[in-house]
Structure 1
Amino acid sequence: MAGPRKPSSGGGRSGGGRGKSAHSGASGRRKAGQQRQAPSDDAPRGAGRPKSKRGPKRDRGTMPFAPNEREEREGVRLQKFMAGAGVASRRKAEELIVEGAVSVNGRTVTELGTRIFPGRDRVTVHGRPITPEDKVYYLLNKPDAVVCAAAGSVDERGRPTVLSLMHGVSERLYPVGRLDYRSRGLVLLTNDGELAQALTHPRHGVVKTYHVKFQGKLDKDQEEALRQGVVLDDGARTAPVTELFAFRETDVNVWYQIGIREGLNRQIRRMGEAIDRPVLKLIRVAIGDLTLDGIEEGEFRALTATEVGQLLAASKLGPEGRSGKSGGSRGGPHNSNQ
């Protein structure tokens, strides 16, 4: 790798970027009551504001629900339809079905194998009819002190959520691969439950790239432990990282770029704890080929149709991958909260 990926925010707290939602026409430049601040002194070098030129108008990052050939003959699994309609992730949809919250044509359904025909069968959740929304996909540069949650603009503790930053977006959105309250960087938000599950499931191996500042300096043994996998506090062993190298060093700390395919809860922070080097700062700078170039902290933009296609391909959800066979894993997503 020629050099580290640059987080567009690095350590900055600035606004005025170029992001714009191509789906709703809402500008990603609009903030949630945040003030412009000077960049942090300990941000990775080169983590300033990348210049971006206004190009042609982006394609709408939307993709309507479309059953494949098998589903047109046999029907769509109920939980897949619910996830595709933006009701919830597939796993959560399964829970709603088992709980008896879902009805088809007026009859309560609790069997996970139930299939329905969209447009012909009437599906309700807690008595409310659901209809498929167009799929939407957004890239957000999450600031510090914002919660990755989909339960409104503030959480139960009164803290702002990522939804508070999504001005002008009317669809129900869910963050994919969460970042914790004090972590920053790239977050995908979508109503495509199937893609959300695939991107967070280690079976598909989509690489997430982070810039990480550890407390103190890592020795060679600690670096090698991270490369090969460490045992976490719950006994789980992490898979080998896809990359690990230092790209900035101060008198007392070092910044590393780390790539992982897994998405265990708070994985990067727990990896630091496993080698006695707590993580001081954590920025997600890429998911697959998606980066934060041109997106300032607190801003968002819609993905282009090309970028959506790349994500679908990376997560094995192309036209052939969206058959019932590919999307039907019961392993469930690893709900990363780095």
Structure 2
Amino acid sequence: MRTGLLSAFPFLAMAAVGAADMMGGPGIGLQPMMALGPAFAGLTGGKRRTALVGALAMALSIALSLYNDQFGERRGNATLISVAGVSVAALVATAMRQRREAELANVRSIAEAAQRVLLRPVPRGAGRLRVAVSYTSAVADARIGGDLYEVVTSPHGVRVIIGDVQGKGLEAVETAAVVLGAFREAAYDEPDLPAVGERLERALDRHLLGEKFVTAVLVEVPHGQGTRSATLLNFGHPAPLAIRHDGSVHFAEPPRRCLPLGLGLHGSDPPSPHEVPFAPGDQLLLYTDGVTEARDGDNHFYPLDQRAHLLKDPDPEGALEAVHQDIQEHVGGTLNDDAAMLLLRYRDYSVPRRPATEE
């Protein structure tokens, strides 16, 4: 509806000018305002449409000049020259705008294609786990963000990463590529998560410039049938949300806060791995700060732990979609920051009781 109104506005403006001039009677001389038509057409329309509006504005200006007995006179001629000049300028501006829009669309399509290649689809199943991912890109001019995630099935267990690169744009994508490339290799080769984290630190130390950094959390779920816990390694990232089979909910906070990746080789101690209960019937939700920092109209953050009951769909993708829709309702539209979520469940998952946090 809004697009249709903008498209009709040049014609409405010229019709209003013509009606006002006719109602005012001969001598009022509003025909210079016919230039509003091509001026507005150049803002939204294409070249052909702008040229059509310009021609119509010239025809109406001539008609009004005749009606006001100004055709052929100095004032009438000046009006026609002005309308013609604005029409030509609007046509040139339209051509330049369309060229810039085409260039921007091309750059965006290439960048988004690069990000899709980078954030390749994660497997729906990994070891004994079922996995689902939800990723929403921000509505900023730079649609490419720095959120990253990956799932690797290694001889040591299923290993997962979710992270957030400082900044946006192609530079953030390049940094995310470094992290993901290093993780895909290290997650398969290294015997434990601290060794994987050290590989990521070294990779970023070689590639990052200045004070750039990446927050991330690594997760390892061993392959054994008797597995009752998951190991986490947190590099300054929001703590995952753990939903137990009995309905209890808590954030899996690390024993101490540590610096993000890219800053850990500057004298600080690396994070320590810690275990969280993770048995059949449990869920582990990893996410980026675009989820918990989503604000509503009253500037309130999204209460993720209070929405854990939405993760009840037997299909993990359906469960994440329910949370995603709830976040959009919370903000009243689209997000202002990238938001990624990654849900881990065992294959024999069954719907738990309602979390205690839900009223």
TM-score range, shorter chain: under 0.3
Q: TM-score normalised to the size of structure 1?
A: 0.25
Q: TM-score normalised to the size of structure 2?
A: 0.24
Bigger-Rg structure (1/2): 2
Specify which structure has the higher proportion of helix: 2
